[in-house]
Amino acid sequence: MKNSNFIGLPFSGQISLFKDVDKDNYNKQILIPEGYKGFSAFHKYWGKKPVEYLVFLIEILTVPGEIILDPFLGSGLIVREAVSRGRNFIGIDINPISVEMAVLSLDLPLLSSFKEAIEQMHIEVRPEIEKTYKMKDSRIATHYLWEGDSLKSVWIAGRGKGKRQEIKPDNHDLDNLAKHYNYQSEFIREIKLFQNSRINTFKGMTTREIFTGRALFNIDLLLEYINSQPEQLRRALLLSLTAASGQMSKMVFAITGRGKTNGVRSDKIEVGSWVIGYWRPKLHFEINVWNCFINRALKLQKLLSDLKKPPHIRIVNDLDPLIGNCETTACIIGSDARVKMNEIKDESVSLVLTDPPHSDRIPYLELSELWNSIIGSESDFTKEIVVSNAKGRNKTKSVYSNEMKNFFSEAIRVTKKGGFIAFLFNARDELSWSYLKDFKELSEGIEYVGYFPMAYSANSVVQDNRKGGLKNDYILIYQKNTSTCSSTNHLSILNHLPGWSISFPTLKGD
C-alpha cells in the first residue's frame, strides 16, 4: 500500500441513514438490521457486526471533517461508512487479513480491469486446474465425497438445476488424485498454530491437514497468476481466494439424514459449509478449487458493477498525512494498537468507535492464520490482546484485563474534550468487564454515559452453539470532559433508543 494515494471511493450515493429522519425510523433501522449484503457479505470474518449501528454512531456523535479511530478494525466495514460520510479515519489491527480487507473496501479495482483478469484466468488457469479433476470420459468432477482417507464418490454436475450424478471412483480417479498426493505448496506460508481443542487445532498442524495435495496444487496455480498482477488487482483477487479457501478445504462437512425430525428421513447427502474453527469432519467434501474461486470472484465482480461513481479520498498507512489535511483521508495501519496509538496526538480524535477483543469469545489471529498464510503475511501472536485456550500462549483473563486497561487509557488520552468512546462488547465474566467499569482509575476526565443492546444481523455459530453462548452485544458510550461541553443533543437521541440505560449491563454469569 502506497503512503499517499488518491483513489475513487466506490460507495453509493446515499450518505446518511439517520440524518433528518424521525426517531421511530432510525430506531427501526438499528433494531432490525438488514443483514450482510454487498461488500459486507463478500468475505467471512469472525464476529462481524451490523453496519447500521456503526453508521448511527458515526452520524450522531461526529460531524464531517472530524477524526474517527478504530484500533481493532476486524472486518474493516467501518472504514467505508466513515469516509463515505466525510469523516477522516484511523484504523489499526494486528491481524494482516483485517488490514487487507479494509484497504480493499476503499481501493477496489475498476470493473473493466477485474473482468479482464478473470477472463484471462479462464484461459490460462482454469484448464490447468480442471486437468486434475478430469474423469476417464473427460467430464470435470465438481465434488469428491471422502470418509476419512477413503474416497467414496465423485460428483458431476448434471443438466438442469439441482441435477447431479454420483459415481463410484475408479482407478483413473485414484491415479489422478495420486499425482498430487504429496504436493507441498510453493506459495502458501506454512501455518503456525497451537494446541487448542476449542478450535480443533494442534501444535505442528500443517496445511496438509487442511487441504488435499490436489487442492494445494490448484491453489498454487491461482496464486501464481494472482501474484503477478498489479497491487490493486492482486489484492482483490487474493481476497477472493481467501474468501473461498474454506470451501476448498477438508473442513466442508457432508449433511446426512435430512428430514429425521419430521419422520421422513432422506438418504441423500448434501454439501455443507466450512464453519468457524479447524474442524475436519470424517465425512467431508473436496470441492473443485476453480469452482470455489470463480463463484466468490464473480460476487466481487457483481459488487463492482453495482457501485456508483465515488468521491475522492486519500488512503495512507501512516499518521502524518492525516494531520492538517483538507482531503478526506483514511489511515489504515497493520500494528499492535497500543504501539501505534502512542503516535496519535493528545485530544485529536472525536470518536473512538471499536469492537475490541471480547475476552475469550474469539481467538482472531488463530482463526485467521489460514488466510494470513495464503496472503503470505506473518501473524504476531505474542502481541495480540485476547484470551485463548491455546497452550503456551499465556493469554489469560488477567493478562487480557491489564492489556485492555492500558488500551483504554490510551483511548481516553487521544479523545478530544467532548469527544466519545463507544465499545461494542460482551463477555460472560466479571474480570473481562473490569477495564470498562474501572475507568475512573484511568482518568478523571471520562464519564460513562450509558449503553444500549445490539442485535446481530445473522446468527453466529460461536454465539449460538457454544454452551453459555452470548446472544447479543452491548454498545457502551463514554464521553470525555462532559462538564466542559454540552452533550444535550447527543443524550436526547440516545435516551430515545429502545433498551437505553445509564447503568451497566447486568452480566449473565458463566
Contact between residue 233 and residue 112 where contact means Cβ atoms under 8 Å apart: no
> Burial letters for 200-227: b for 16+ Cβ neighbours within 10 Å, e otherwise?
ebeeebebbebbbbbbbbbbbbbbebbe
Indicate whether 118 and 89 sit together in one domain.
no
Contact between residue 385 and residue 190 where contact means Cβ atoms under 8 Å apart: no
Indicate whether 325 and 351 sit together in one domain.
yes
The one-letter amino acid at 177: L
CATH code of the domain containing 455 = 3.40.50.150
Q: Does 506 reside within a domain?
A: no
Pairing of strands 283-287, 5-8: unpaired
Indicate whether 63 and 166 sit together in one domain.
no
User: Under 8 Å CB-to-CB from 95, ≥6 apart: which residues?
Assistant: 73, 74, 364, 365, 368, 372, 379, 384
Q: Does 422 reside within a domain?
A: yes
Region of residue 376 (left: phi > 0; alpha: psi -120 to 50; beta: else): left
Radius of gyration of the chain (CA): 24
Indicate whether 194 and 229 sit together in one domain.
yes
How far is the C-alpha of 174 from the C-alpha of 169, rounded, in Å? 7
The pLDDT tens digits for 304-335 are: 998 765 567 788 988 876 765 667 789 999 99
Q: Does 182 reside within a domain?
A: yes
Q: Does 483 reside within a domain?
A: yes
Indicate whether 101 and 119 sit together in one domain.
no
Q: Does 6 reside within a domain?
A: no
pLDDT for the residue numbered 113 = 96
**114 pLDDT more than 90:** yes
Which of 258, 276, 305 is where one domain is finished?
305
Cα distances from 273 to residues 35, 248, 252, 281, 367, in angstroms, run 19, 10, 5, 11, 16
Q: Does 485 reside within a domain?
A: yes
Residue 470's SS3 state is coil
pLDDT for the residue numbered 26 = 54
Indicate whether 199 and 294 sit together in one domain.
yes
Q: Does 509 reside within a domain?
A: no
Q: Which range of residues forms the domain containing residue 375?
A: 16-106+308-495
How far is the C-alpha of 128 from the C-alpha of 150, rounded, in Å? 25
The pLDDT tens digits for 464-477 are: 444 555 567 899 99
Which of 282, 305, 328 is where one domain is finished?
305
Indicate whether 99 and 124 sit together in one domain.
no
Cα-based angle 325, 329, 330 (whole degrees, multiple of 5): 145
Q: Does 11 reside within a domain?
A: no
What grid cell was written down for 230?
A: 498489479
pLDDT for the residue numbered 454 = 87
Q: How many structural domains does the chain have?
A: 2
Indicate whether 118 and 94 sit together in one domain.
no
The pTM score is 0.89
The pLDDT tens digits for 405-436 are: 999 999 999 999 999 999 998 887 888 888 88
Between 490 and 281, the more confident residue is 281
How far is the C-alpha of 277 from the C-alpha of 48, rounded, in Å? 16
Question: Per DSSP, what are the bridge partners of residue 165?
Answer: 156
Pairing of strands 446-454, 473-480: antiparallel
The pLDDT tens digits for 29-85 are: 555 666 667 777 888 887 778 888 899 999 999 999 999 999 999 988 899 899 999
How far is the C-alpha of 79 from the C-alpha of 77, rounded, in Å? 6
**Which of the 8 DSSP states describes residue 32?**
S
Indicate whether 432 and 365 sit together in one domain.
yes
Q: Which whole number is the average pLDDT over 227-247? A: 97
Q: Which whole number is the average pLDDT over 152-156? A: 96
Which of 305, 334, 351 is where one domain is finished?
305
CB neighbourhood size of 33 (10 A): 17
**184 pLDDT more than 80:** yes
State phi, psi for 207 to the nearest 5 degrees: -65, -25
Indicate whether 73 and 222 sit together in one domain.
no
Indicate whether 397 and 318 sit together in one domain.
yes
Round to the nearest angstrom and report the end-to-end CA distance of the chain.
43
Indicate whether 349 and 288 sit together in one domain.
no
